[in-house]
Amino acid sequence: MAIDPLKTVGQNTPRIDAYERVTGQATYTRDIKLPGMLYARVLRSNVPHAMIRRIDTSKAEALPGVRAVMTHETHKIPYGSGSISGGRQYSDAHKDITTRLRYTFNDHVRYVGEPVAAVAAVNRHVAEEALQLIEIDYEELPFVLDVEEAIEPGAPEIWSGGNIAHDSENRQQPIGGRTGDLEAGFAEADQIFEDRFTTQFVQDAQMEPRSALAHWEGDKLILHTPTQGVSNCRHDTARDLGLEDHQVQVICQYMGGGFGDKNGNYYFDLIAAAFARDLGVPVMVELSRKDDWLATHGRWHTVQDYRVGVKDDGTVTAIQLNGLSGMGPYLRRSGNVAGMDVYACENTEKSILPVHTNRVVSGNFRAPTYPQGYFGIESMMDEVAYKLGIDPVQFALKNMVRPTETKQFTNFTLDQCIEQGAELFDWANRWKPEPGSGEGPIKRGAGMAFMMFNARLGASSAILRVNAEGRYTVYVGVTDIGPGAKTTMSMLAAEELGVPLSDVDIVWGDSDRCPYSVGESGSRCTMMTGYAVVEAARDLKRQIAENGMPQGDSVLIASATPAPTTNGKLREGFGAHFVEVEVDTHLGDVRVTKYVTVHESGRILNPLPALDQIRGAVIQGIGQALTEDLRYDSRNGQPLTSGYYWGRHLTHLDVPQIENVFIETDDGLGPYGAKTVGESGIIIAPVAVANAVYNAIGHRMRDLPITRDKILEVVA
Amino acid sequence: MKDSHDSEVSRREFIGGTGAAIVAANTIPVKAQDRSGESNERAIEDVPLTRITLTVNGTEHRVAVEDRWTLTELLRDHLGLTGTRIGCNRGECGACTVLLDGEPAYSCSTLAVWAHGRSVQTVEGLEKSGRVSKLQQAFIDHNAPQCGFCTSGQLMSATALLQRNANPTVREIREALAGNLCRCSNYNAIVEAVQAATRTGGA
Amino acid sequence: MKTFANHNPGSVDEAVAIAQAAISDGLSVSFAGGGTDLLQLVKDRIPNRPGAGAPDVLVNLKSIPGIGGIAVNARGGLTIGGLAPLSALAASSVVRQRYSVLAEAAEQVASPQIRNTGTLAGNVCQRPWCWYFRNGFNCYKAGGNQCFSIVGEHQLHAIFGGGPSFIVHPSDVAPALVALEATFHIIGPHGERTLPAAEFFVLPRDDAGHENVLGDAEVLVSINLPASANGVHSSYHKVMDRQTWTHAVASAAVVLDMEEGLCRSARIVLGGVAPIPWRVQAAEALLAGERVTAELADAVGVAAVAEAQPLAKNAYKVPLTRRLVERTVLAVSGVA
ipTM of the complex: 0.97
Q: How many cross-chain Cβ pairs, A to C, lie less than 8 Å apart?
A: 82
Closest chain C residue by Cα to residue A441: C323
CA distance C167 to chain B (A): 21
* A64/B43 Cα distance (integer angstroms): 9
Cβ of C239 and A653 within 8 Å?
no
**pLDDT of amino acid B34:** 42
A458-560 placed in CATH 3.30.365.10: yes
Q: Which residue on chain C is closest to A588 by alpha carbon?
A: C320
Radius of gyration, alpha carbons of chain A: 26
Q: C-alpha distances in angstroms, B127 versus A514, A550, B153, B156, B193?
A: 32, 39, 15, 12, 17
Q: For residue C223, give Cα distances in angstroms to A146, A364, B196, C16, C77.
A: 49, 52, 43, 18, 10
pLDDT score of C332 more than 60:
yes
| B15/B63 same-domain check | yes
The domain limits of chain A are 32-141+211-286, 359-456+570-715, 458-560
* Chains in contact with C, where contact requires at least 3 CB pairs less than 8 Å apart: A, B
Same domain, B118 and B169: no
Distance CA C106, CA C173 (A): 6
Residues 68 to 127 of B: which have CB under 8 A from any A CB? 68, 76, 81-90, 92-93, 95, 122-124, 126-127
| Cross-chain Cβ contact C245/A634 below 8 Å | no
Tell me which chain A residue has its CA closest to the CA of residue C301: A586
Neighbours of chain A (3+ CB pairs under 8 A): B, C
Question: Can you give the residue range of the structural domain that contains B55?
Answer: 2-81+110-122
Task: Kindly state whether A218 is in contact with chain B, defined as any CB-CB distance less than 8 angstroms.
Answer: no
Give the separation between CA A671 and CA A531, rounded to whole angstroms. 5
User: Which of these, A338, A368, A337, lies nearest to A261 by C-alpha position?
Assistant: A368
For the A32-141+211-286 domain, the top CATH level (class) is: alpha beta
Residue pair C79/C94 in contact (Cβ under 8 Å)? The answer is: no
Q: Using the beta-carbon criterion (under 8 Å), do A129 and C2 form an inter-chain contact?
A: yes
Of B128, B130, B127, B82, residue with least CA distance to B107: B82
Residue B129 distance to chain C (closest CA, Å): 28
- Assign residue B92 a region (left: φ > 0; alpha: ψ between -120 and 50; beta: otherwise): alpha
Q: How confident is the model at residue C1 (pLDDT cuts 50, 70, 90)?
A: confident
Query: Residue B175 and residue C112: Cβ atoms within 8 Å?
Result: yes
pLDDT at B149: 98
Q: Residue A86 above 70 pLDDT?
A: no
A255-273: pLDDT as tens digits: 999 998 898 999 999 999 9
Look up the CATH architecture of domain C5-63.
Answer: 2-Layer Sandwich (3.30)
Same domain, B154 and B114: no
Q: With contacts defined as CB-CB under 8 Å, which chain A residues touch C327?
A: 586-587
The answer to whether residue A482 neighbours chain B at the CB level (below 8 Å) is yes
- Using DSSP, state whether C103 is helix, strand or coil: helix
Q: Is C101 in a helix, a strand, or coil? A: helix
Residue B3: pLDDT above 70?
A: no
CATH code 3.30.390.50 region(s) in chain C:
232-333
* Among A652, A658, A677, the residue to mutate for chain B (most B Cβ within 10 A): A652
- Whole-number Å distance between alpha carbons of A653 and B174: 6
DSSP conformational letter for A657: P
The minimal CB distance from C112 to the residues B14, B18, B157 is found for B157
The 3 state secondary structure assigned to A593-632 is EEEEEEEECECCCCHHHHHHHHHHHHHHHHHHHHCCCCCE
Q: What are A203-261's pLDDT values in tens digits? A: 999 999 999 999 999 999 999 999 999 999 999 999 899 999 999 999 999 999 999 88
Chain A environment of C320 (Cβ under 8 Å): 586-588, 708, 712, 716
Residues of B whose CB is below 8 A from A481: 147
Q: Testing the interface with C: which of B9, B14, B118 to mutate, by most C Cβ within 10 A?
A: B14
Instruction: List the CATH number of the domain containing B37.
Output: 3.10.20
Contacting partners of chain B (3+ CB pairs under 8 A):
A, C
Are B114 and B151 contained in the same domain? no
pLDDT of residue C53: 87
Instruction: Compare all CA atoms of chain A with the CA of B122 and give the residue at the minimum distance.
Output: A24
Q: End of a domain among B94, B122, B150? A: B122
Kindly state whether residue B27 falls inside one of the protein's structural domains. Answer: yes
| Measured distance CA(A236)–CA(A232) in Å, rounded | 6
The answer to whether the Cβ–Cβ distance between B103 and C116 falls below 8 Å is yes
Torsional sign, CA A314, A318, A322, A323: positive
- Measured distance CA(C11)–CA(C14) in Å, rounded: 5
**Cβ contact, residue pair C314, A709, below 8 Å:** yes
| One domain for residues B12 and B76 | yes
Q: What is the number of domains present in chain B?
A: 2
| Distances from the Cα of B107 to the Cα of A709, B114, B115, angstroms | 35, 11, 10
d(CA A444, CA C266): 34
Q: Which of C137, C244, C249 sits opposite A651 (nearest CB)?
A: C244
Residues 6+ apart with CB under 8 A from C182: C196, C197, C223, C224, C225, C226
At residue B4, does pLDDT exceed 70? no
Q: Say if CB C131 and CB C153 are below 8 A apart.
A: yes
| CATH number given to A359-456+570-715 | 3.30.365.10
Cα separation, A235 vs A243, in Å, equals 9
| Chain B CB within 8 Å of residue C113 CB | yes
Distance from CA of B189 to the nearest CA of C (A): 19
Whether A240 contacts A79, CB under 8 Å: yes
Over the stretch A297-328, which tens digit does the pLDDT of each residue have?
Answer: 999 999 999 999 999 999 999 999 999 999 99
Position B37 scores a pLDDT of: 42
pLDDT at B45: 55
For chain A, counts of helices (H) and of strands (E): 18, 28
Would the pLDDT of A90 be above 70?
no
Q: Do B39 and A616 touch (CB under 8 A)?
A: no
pLDDT of residue B20: 31
Cβ–Cβ below 8 Å for B184 and A482: yes
CA distance A566 to A413: 17
| Residues A268/A274/A276/A279 CA torsion (nearest 10 deg) | -140
CB contact under 8 A, C87 and B47: no
Residues B73 and B160 in one domain: no
- Cβ–Cβ contact B32 with A under 8 A: no
Using CA atoms of A220, A221, A222, A223 in order, give the dihedral in degrees to the nearest 10: -160
DSSP A343: B
Residue A698 in this model has a pLDDT that exceeds 90: yes
Residues in Cβ contact with C15 at an 8 Å cutoff, skipping those fewer than 6 apart = C7, C9, C31, C59, C61, C64, C219
Amino acid at B21: A
Which of C278, C261, C259 is closest to C270 using CA atoms? Answer: C278
Q: Which 62-81 residues of chain C touch chain B by CB within 8 A?
A: 62-63
Partner-chain residue, chosen from A22, A63, A616, that has the shortest CB–CB distance to B140: A22
Residue of B nearest to A653 (CA): B174
**Mean pLDDT taken over chain B:** 83
Tell me what pLDDT residue A84 has: 53
**Averaged pLDDT, A681-686:** 98
- Where in the sequence of chain C do the CATH 3.30.43 domains occur? 5-63
Taking the alpha carbons of A186, A187, A189, A191 in that order, is the dihedral positive or negative? positive
β-strands C183-188, C78-81: how paired? Answer: unpaired
- Residues of chain B found within 8 Å of residue C60, distances taken between Cβ atoms: 111, 113-114
* Whether pTM exceeds 0.80: yes
Give mean pLDDT, residues A657-661.
98
Q: How far apart are CA A74 and CA A70, in angstroms?
A: 6
Report d(CA C213, CA A625) in Å as an integer: 42
What is the predicted pLDDT for the residue at A261?
86
Q: Of B76, B67, B22, whose CA–CA distance to B49 is shortest?
A: B67
The beta-carbon neighbor of B183 closest among A205, A609, A612 is: A205
- B117 lies in the same domain as B169: no
Q: How confident is the model at residue C335 (pLDDT cuts 50, 70, 90)?
A: confident
Nearest Cα of chain C lies from the Cα of B68 at a distance, in angstroms, of 6
Shortest CA gap A37–chain B (Å)? 6
Secondary structure of chain B in HEC code, one letter for each residue: CHHHHHHHHHHHHHHHHHCCCCCCCCCECCCHHHCCCCCCCCCCCCCCEEEEEEEECCEEEEEEEECCCEHHHHHHHHCCCCCCCCCCCCCCCCCCEEEECCEEEEHHHCEHHHHCCCEEECHHHCCECCECCHHHHHHHHCCCCCCCCCHHHHHHHHHHHHHHCCCCCHHHHHHHCCCCCCCCCCHHHHHHHHHHCCCCCCC
Single out the residue of A44, A54, A51 nearest to residue A132, CA to CA: A44
| Cα A315 to Cα A299: distance, rounded to the nearest angstrom | 32
Cβ atoms C86, C104 nearer than 8 A = no
Question: Residue B32: pLDDT above 60?
Answer: no
What percentage of chain C has pLDDT greater than the value 70?
Answer: 100
Asked if A708 lies within 8 A of C152 by C-beta distance, the reply is no
CB A1 within 8 A of CB A247: no
Task: Give the pLDDT score at B36.
Answer: 41
Rounded CA separation A288/A43 (Å):
11
CA-CA distance, A146 to A128, in Å (whole number)?
Answer: 33
The whole-chain average pLDDT of chain A stands at: 96
Both B15 and B40 in one domain: the answer is: yes
Please report the pLDDT score of residue C270 as a whole number: 98
H/E segment holding residue A709: helix A708-715
Q: Do B39 and A122 touch (CB under 8 A)?
A: yes
Say yes or no: B139 and B66 in one domain: no
Q: What is the pLDDT of residue A424?
A: 98
CA B143 and chain centroid, separation: 24
Nearest by CB to B89, from C25, C43, C87: name it: C43
The sign of the torsion formed by the CA atoms of B15, B16, B17, B23 equals: positive
Judge whether B7 is closer than 8 Å to chain A, CB to CB. Answer: no
Q: How many CB pairs under 8 A join B and C?
A: 133
Q: Minimal Cα–Cα distance from B186 to chain C, Å?
A: 17
Architecture of domain C232-333: 2-Layer Sandwich (3.30)
